[in-house]
Structure 1
Amino acid sequence: MMTTKSITLHHLMIGNERKIGIQFSPDKLIQDLLKGLPNCKWSTEYSMAYIPNTAANLAAIYSTFKGVAWINYNKFLTNRPINTNNPEVNVTYYRERNLPPGYRRCPEPYLQRLELKRYANNTVKVYVQFFEQFINMYPDQALETLNETDVRRYLQTLIHKNLSTSYINQAINAIKFYYEGVLGMPNRFYDLERPRKERHLPKVISKDEILAIITHARNLKHKCIIQLLYSAGLRRSELVQLKLEDIDSQRMLIHVKQGKGNKDRYTLLSTNVLADLRLYCEQWQPNTYLFEGMNGKPYSPVSVLKVVKSAAERAGIRTRVTPHMLRHSFATHLLEAGTDIRQIQVLLGHSSTKTTEIYTHVANHTFTAIKNPLD
C-alpha cells in the first residue's frame, strides 16, 4: 500500500553553514524518525527540521524514510542542464570596461558562471547590471555577509522609484544567481518576498491596420519581416534566427528552432508570404539567415523594431506598434475566426493553454455574443 506521508527537502543557510531543511506536516512517526538523524535540530525561522548538508546525511535521510514517506527532492535538486543552444556568450566587455574609481564591479566568478551556463547575451547584460547596482549600494561590506535584510533594503529603493514588477523580479534573480548559483548557497534568500505579478491584457490591432502597415513597408525585405511576424505569430528573437532551411514550402510550415524556453515548434507559412519571400530571396540573396544584417549575421532585433514602428507611423496608426503586438494580433484574429485555442497554443509555442487563454479577454467575439442590457 502506497504511503501518504511525505517530506520535502530544502537548501538552507543557517549561521553561514549549509543545511538540509526537512519540511513535513505534523506526524508522530516522522518526528520520531527525525530524532535518529545526525545532529537534527529545529528552525523556528523556517518552520522545519534541519541537519548539516553532507552527502552522508542526504543518504541517511533516504535510508531512514524509504518506504515510510515520499521524499520530495524538487526544491533540493535544482540544478538545470547547461543551455548549449544559445550563441557564444562573450563577457569580455564586462571584464574590460572602464569604470569610475570606487565602483564595485561584478565578481569574476559571477561572469564565469554566466559563461558556463551559456545564458543569452541579453540575460548576461541584465544580470550584471542589476547585481552591480545591488553591490554598489553596500560598497564596504563583504558580499558573503549580505543577507535578506540588505536585499530588502535595496528592493525598497526600487519600489520607491515606482519601477515595474518585472524590473524588481529581474533584480531578485540577478542577486540570487550569485548566492545560489555561484557560491553554491541554494535558497540563501529563502523567504524573500517577490512582488505580485502584474496582469496586463495584450495589445492588438485590427486586420485593416495590419494590411496598412504591410503596404507602407519601405521595401520588400521590410514587407516580408512584417508579414512573417504577423502571419506566423513569431517573436522577433525567433524571426531573426530563422534560416533559409527553416522555410518548408512543401508542407507550408515554418520550423522555429529553440524559441523561448529552448523549444522547437512549427507554425504557419502563408501562401501570399511565400510568394513575396521568393522574390525577396532573388533580390537580396541571403546566404544563411533568412534576414541578414552586416557581414551575413542575423538581422538585429532593434532593426526589426524600427521596421515595424516606422511602417506603422507611415500608415498613420496612432497606437505605438511593436513586433510583439503583431504576434498578439495573430493569436487574437485566429481566435476570432473560430480556431481552437489548443491549436493556437501550439502555433505560439505556449506550454499551457492558460497562457493562451489571455486572448479570450481581447477577442471581439467574446463581447459581440453578449447582449448589452441597455440594448
Structure 2
Amino acid sequence: MKITLEPFVHRGISAVGIRFSFNFELKEYLKKFDGIRWSQTHRCFYVRNTAMVLAALVKYLKAENYVPDLEAFESKKRRKRRFVRQPGQILPALKPHNVLVYQNYIKYLQGKRYSESTVAVYGGFVQEFLQFTGNKPTADLTENDVRLYIEWAVKTLNYAISTHRQLVGAIKQFAFFYPACAIDPEKLNRPRKDHKLPTVLSKEEVIEILRVTRNLKHRTALALLYSSGLRVGEAINLKLNCFDFERKQLHIKNSKGRSDRMVILADSFIPLFQNYYMTYQPKVFFIENPNGGKYSAGTIRTFLKQSCKLAGITKLVTPHTLRHSYATHLLENGTDLRYIQVLLGHSRPETTMIYTHVAQRYLQAIRSPLDTTLLSMSRDKDHGNPFLSDGLSGIKAIK
C-alpha cells in the first residue's frame, strides 16, 4: 500500500500530511500515534513537521511493515522558500548556531530516559521556539522571549491548555539543559489544568454495553478494561504471561510512570477469557490483530462506540470511561480510597480523590437544605404538609 508523506502548512504551522487509499487497519493504527490529527480542509491525517516527529512517524509505520513514500516530501522540502515570521505563516528554518543546540537538547531528553513520544513533542516545541527567536543568540534568550513565543503560539496556533502546559514544560527542560541562557525556569508558569469531572457509566449501562457486544474478542477486551480498571494502552500491551489465574491477579508491567502493579481479575471474567482464548488462540499478547501483532487502541475505541450506540447510551464514552466507572463503582461499594489508588496505579492520592465527586453513594446521602426545611415544616402541625406545588393551580406558565 502506498503511504505518501508530504509537507504543507496548516493553520500557520508546518505539518506533514499522511495520504493513502482508505484502509481501516492502517487508519486505526495511525490514530494511536501521539500527536496525530485529522485535517478536514486537506482531508488527511497530519503531524507537526519536525525532524524528531517525522523520524518517529517513519519508525512507527515501519514497525507494522508499512513503508512510507518520502519522495514527495523530500522534493517539496528542497524547494527554496522565503520565510516571513508573521502570524499565520510558517516560521523560518533553524539558524546554523541553533542546530547544534537543538540536537544536544534532544540527546539531553533521551539521557533523562523520556519516552520517544515525549522527546518528539518537547523537541518540536523547542525547535519552534528557536525558530521564533530567529537570529537572537541562544545565550541572550530571556523569559520575555518565552512570553512572546507563547503569546504567538496560543493566539496563532490555537493551542489548548494541555498543549500550552506541555510547551512550558519543554522550555523549562531547555532552560535546565542550557543554563548559559538567561531563562529562569522557576519563573515559567504553566496555566492551571481544566478540572473536569470524568464521565461515569452506571453499573447497568456497563452490563448493557457488554451484552450488546456480540463479537467475543471485543466483549473480552471491554470486560477486562472495566473489571480491572486498565488504561487502554495497558490492555493492548498486556501479554498472556501476565495473567495469574490461581491468585486471580493480573501483573501490569511498565505502566505510566514506568511502574508495575498488580490488579484483580474478576471471577466472572475468567470463563469469558477461557472461551475467548480457545476461540482465537492468541500467541503473545492478550488481544492481537489478525496478523498476530498488538491490537490497535483506535479499533477498541471504534467498537466501543458502536456498542454504546446499540445500547442506546448517548454519553461520550471512551475506553478510559470504563476505568473511571470501575473506580467510581469500587468507591460506591465501600472500597477504601487507598486501595483504589493502588489498583489504578496513581502516584498521588489527589488524583484518586476526584472519584469522591462523582460517587452516587455519597451524593445521594446528602440532603438538600430545601428538603430538610420542608420535612421539618411537615412535622409542624401549624404548617400541615407543605409541597412546592401548593398554590400553583390556575397560574399560567411564563413564556
TM-score by length of 1: 0.68
Cα 1:195–1:297 shift into 2, 3 Å: same
The amino acid of 1:203's aligned partner reads T
**Counterpart contact for 2:304–2:318, Cα < 8 Å:** yes
CA separation in 1, counterparts of 2:270 and 2:183? Answer: 50
Q: Distance in 2 between matches of 1:218 and 1:111?
A: 47
Describe the superposition over 1:268-292 as per-residue Cα deviations: whole angstroms up to 9, x where unpaired: 1112222111121222221111112
Counterparts in 2 of 1:111 and 1:302: CA distance versus 1, 3 Å: farther
- CA drift of 1:94 comes to 7.4
Identify which of 156, 159, 164 aligns with 2:160: 164
* Equivalent of 1:148 in 133, 143, 150: 143
Alignment of 1:52-67 (within 5 A): none
Q: Distance in 2 between matches of 1:227 and 1:94?
A: 32
**Residue 92 (1) aligns with residue 81 (2):** no
> Displacement, 1:185?
7.1
Structure-2 residue corresponding to 1:189? 185
| Alpha-carbon distance in 2 for matches of 1:353, 1:252 | 25
Picking from 336, 343, 349, the partner of 2:339 is: 343
Rounded Cα–Cα distance in structure 2 between residues aligned with 1:142 and 1:186: 11
Q: Secondary structure at the match of 1:314?
A: helix
Q: Name the aligned partner's letter for residue 190 of structure 1.
A: E
Distance of 1:110 and 1:209 partners within structure 2: 48
User: C-alpha separation between the residues in 2 aligned to 1:302 and 1:136?
Assistant: 34
Give the Cα separation in 2 of the matches to 1:182 and 1:302.
Answer: 38
Shift of residue 230, structure 1, vs aligned partner? 0.8
Residues 130-154 of structure 1 show CA distances to partners (whole Å, capped at 9, x for unaligned) of 2333233233334443221111112
CA distance in 1: counterparts of 2:128 and 2:297, whole angstroms? 26
- Cα distance in 2 for partners of 1:329, 1:352 equals 19
Preserved contact between residue 91 and residue 115 of structure 1 (Cα < 8 Å): no
Counterpart-to-counterpart distance in 2, 1:178 and 1:295: 41
What is aligned with 1:63? Answer: none
> How far 1:257 moved relative to its partner?
0.9
* Partners of 1:312 and 1:321 within 8 A in 2: yes
Q: List per-residue Cα deviations over 1:317-367 (Å, max 9, x = no partner).
A: 111101111111000011111111111111111223322111111101112
Q: Is this contact kept in 2: 1:91–1:111, CA < 8 A? A: no
Residue equivalent to 1:104 = 93
CA contact (8 A) 1:216 1:314 kept: yes
Conserved? CA contact 2:142–2:181, under 8 Å: no
Q: 1:113 aligns with which of 102, 108, 125?
A: 108
How many Å apart are 1:305 and its aligned residue? 2.2
- Change in 2 beyond 3 A, CA 1:94/1:347: closer
1:91 offset after TM fit, Å?
A: 7.4
Task: Report the count of equivalent residues.
Answer: 287
AA matched with 2:151: Q
Alignment of 1:1-375 (within 5 A): 92-93=55-56, 98=74, 99=77, 101=81, 103-104=92-93, 107-160=102-155, 163-181=159-177, 188-217=184-213, 219-293=215-289, 295-375=291-371
Which AA in structure 2 matches 1:133?
E
Q: Which amino acid is the alignment partner of residue 349 of structure 2?
A: T
| 1:278 partner SS | helix
**Greater CA drift, 365-374 or 158-167:** 158-167
Q: Distance in 1 between matches of 2:265 and 2:111?
A: 36
Specify the code of the residue in structure 2 equivalent to 1:236. Answer: V
State the distance in 2 between where 1:294 and 1:111 align: 36
TM-score under structure 2 normalisation? Answer: 0.64
Change (3 A) 1:229 1:194: same
C-alpha distance in structure 2 between counterparts of 1:249 and 1:184, whole Å: 56
Residue 248 of structure 2 aligns with an amino acid whose one-letter code is M
Gaps of 5+ in 2: 1-51, 59-69, 84-91, 372-399
In structure 1, C-alpha distance between the alignment counterparts of 2:290 and 2:115, rounded to whole Å: 21
Greater CA deviation, 358-367 or 191-200?
191-200
Give the C-alpha shift of residue 261 in structure 1: 1.2
CA distance in 2, matches of 1:287, 1:349: 27
The letter of the residue matching 2:55 is T
> Which AA in structure 2 matches 1:167?
T
- The 1-side partners of 2:361 and 2:56 are apart by 51
Contact 1:335 1:341 in 2 (8 A): yes
2:132 counterpart SS class: coil
**Shift of the alpha carbon at 1:182?**
6.3
Structure 1: any 5+ residue segments left out of the alignment?
A: 1-88
Change (3 A) 1:211 1:186: farther
- Aligned equivalents of 2:171, 2:350: Cα separation in 1: 30
Deviation at 1:212, TM superposition (A): 1.9
Q: Deviations over 1:72-131 (max 9, x none)?
A: xxxxxxxxxxxxxxxxx9973479975574653673323333444442233233223323
Deviates more, 1:266-275 or 1:244-253: 266-275
* Larger deviation, residues 260-269 vs 159-168: 159-168
Q: Which amino acid aligns with 1:112?
A: K
Name the SS for the 1:271 alignment partner.
coil
